[in-house]
């Protein structure tokens, strides 16, 4: 894969690249740059983790990128996930890895790093203090949106550490690319600014978009404000409006049936969001939506854009679109669901994690 193909591959799943020129220079100068994504082990996996992020990882690997999976045990503890029960958090991180295995990720080609291991060295906290010295308390408070908290929301003293810890991770992990969600933008920009001041390696930011919840989003909403976007993203804390990698066909069908999907509206419509980020391997993939002849017969579209035009013209009914999305989502989820149903150890792990109390 040449440089242009690598950039196109990374661009294909990105909401924003800061900056694309720096990404180009990185790929030209380093055969296997290092990227990371980090997670709070916090409950059962939704399709945004088990399918979308797994797909992003595969694309990065195809472009020659070495990937680090960063497991944030202390981050989850500070953020009171799973009631701050560290044993439950540790068990859930094992479950997360099992989800990616079931999604087809070769974990032998992924470097797994735990935050407690990284933080055990004095050098981590030395860097943490240097970063904290350069950042105002007001800036840190504005960045708590990376925790899934609203700006201005009351947080504990320990949670104030969170944004600075996340910026510290970038340098202690020694990564070239921060490949996290767009909701983590503030921490990544902070890392870039501090790096420029201290003459550290400046990371490239490759932010992937958030997956919409089944409630959808206003079609005219255009913003990168994390605190606003958080309101509309899929979250396991709202199970009625999110889809789990363990959901049965009937559960998926029931949730999709009640989902936001206005006629002739593509923007903010979760059905098109899932087509783009979960179902279609590329935007030019042929799409065939089967319908009875009495309702106009099958819809054939050469890719996402053509289907969107058909829908906006009112030539495809929302229920036909929902039925198609239900069937295709089930195909994507099926290998993961079956892995946890048929593998004894995986099933036991799933049952344990399912029993934990999920806290925001």
pLDDT along the chain (360 residues), means of 10: 94 94 96 94 90 94 95 91 91 93 92 94 96 91 77 80 94 97 92 96 95 89 66 80 94 96 95 95 90 88 95 95 97 96 95 83
- Say if residues 308 and 272 touch (Cβ distance below 8 Å): yes
Extents of the domains making up the chain: 3-207, 226-354
Residue 272's contacts (CB-CB under 8 Å, 6 or more residues apart) are: 266, 304, 308, 311
pLDDT score for 217 = 87
pLDDT score for 223 = 63
pLDDT score for 224 = 61
pLDDT score for 176 = 98
Residue 179's contacts (CB-CB under 8 Å, 6 or more residues apart) are: 35, 36, 37, 56, 60, 67, 206, 207, 208
pLDDT score for 237 = 74
The correct CATH number of 3-207 out of 3.30.300.130, 3.40.190.10, 3.40.50.880, 3.40.50.620 is: 3.40.50.620
In the CATH scheme, what is the homologous superfamily, with its name and number, of domain 226-354? Tyrosyl-Transfer RNA Synthetase (1.10.240.10)
Which tens digit of pLDDT belongs to each residue from 308-327?
999 999 999 999 999 999 99
pLDDT score for 227 = 61
What gap in Å lies between CA 181 and CA 148, rounded to an integer? 12
Same CATH topology for 3-207 and 226-354: the answer is no
pTM of the model: 0.89
3-class SS of residue 143: helix
Q: What is the number of other CB atoms lying within 10 angstroms of the CB of residue 207?
A: 20
């Amino acid at each position: 894969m040449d440089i242009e193909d690598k950039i196109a591959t990374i661009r294909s799943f990105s909401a924003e690249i800061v900056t694309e020129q720096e990404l180009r220079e990185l790929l030209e100068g380093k055969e296997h740059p290092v990227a990371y994504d980090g997670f709070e082990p916090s409950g059962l996996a939704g399709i945004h983790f088990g399918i979308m992020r797994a797909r992003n990882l595969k694309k990065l690997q195809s472009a020659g990128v070495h990937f680090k999976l960063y497991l944030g045990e202390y981050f989850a503890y500070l953020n009171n996930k799973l009631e701050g029960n560290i044993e439950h958090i540790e068990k859930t991180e094992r479950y997360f890895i099992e989800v990616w295995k079931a999604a087809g990720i070769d974990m032998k080609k992924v470097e797994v790093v735990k935050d407690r291991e990284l933080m055990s060295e004095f050098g981590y906290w030395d860097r943490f203090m240097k970063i904290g010295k350069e950042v105002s308390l007001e800036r840190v408070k504005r960045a708590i949106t990376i925790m899934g908290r609203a700006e201005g929301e009351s947080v504990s003293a320990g949670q104030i550490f969170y944004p600075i810890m996340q910026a510290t991770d970038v340098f202690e992990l020694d990564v070239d690319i921060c490949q996290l969600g767009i909701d983590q933008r503030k921490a990544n920009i902070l890392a870039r600014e501090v790096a420029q001041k201290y003459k550290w390696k400046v990371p490239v930011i490759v932010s992937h978009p958030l997956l919409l919840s089944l409630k959808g989003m206003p079609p005219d909403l255009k913003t990168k404000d994390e605190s606003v976007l958080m309101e509309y993203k899929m979250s396991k804390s709202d199970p009625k409006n999110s889809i789990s990698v363990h959901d049965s066909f009937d559960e998926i069908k029931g949730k999709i049936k009640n989902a936001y999907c206005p006629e002739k509206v593509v923007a903010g419509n979760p059905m098109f969001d899932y087509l783009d980020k979960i179902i279609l391997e590329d935007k030019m993939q042929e799409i065939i939506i089967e319908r009875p002849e009495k309702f106009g017969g099958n819809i054939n579209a050469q890719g996402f854009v053509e289907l969107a035009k058909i829908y906006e013209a009112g030539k495809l009914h929302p229920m036909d679109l929902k039925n198609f999305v239900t069937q295709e989502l089930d195909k994507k989820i099926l290998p993961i669901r079956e892995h946890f149903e048929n593998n004894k150890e995986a099933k036991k792990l799933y049952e344990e994690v399912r029993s934990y109390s999920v806290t925001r």
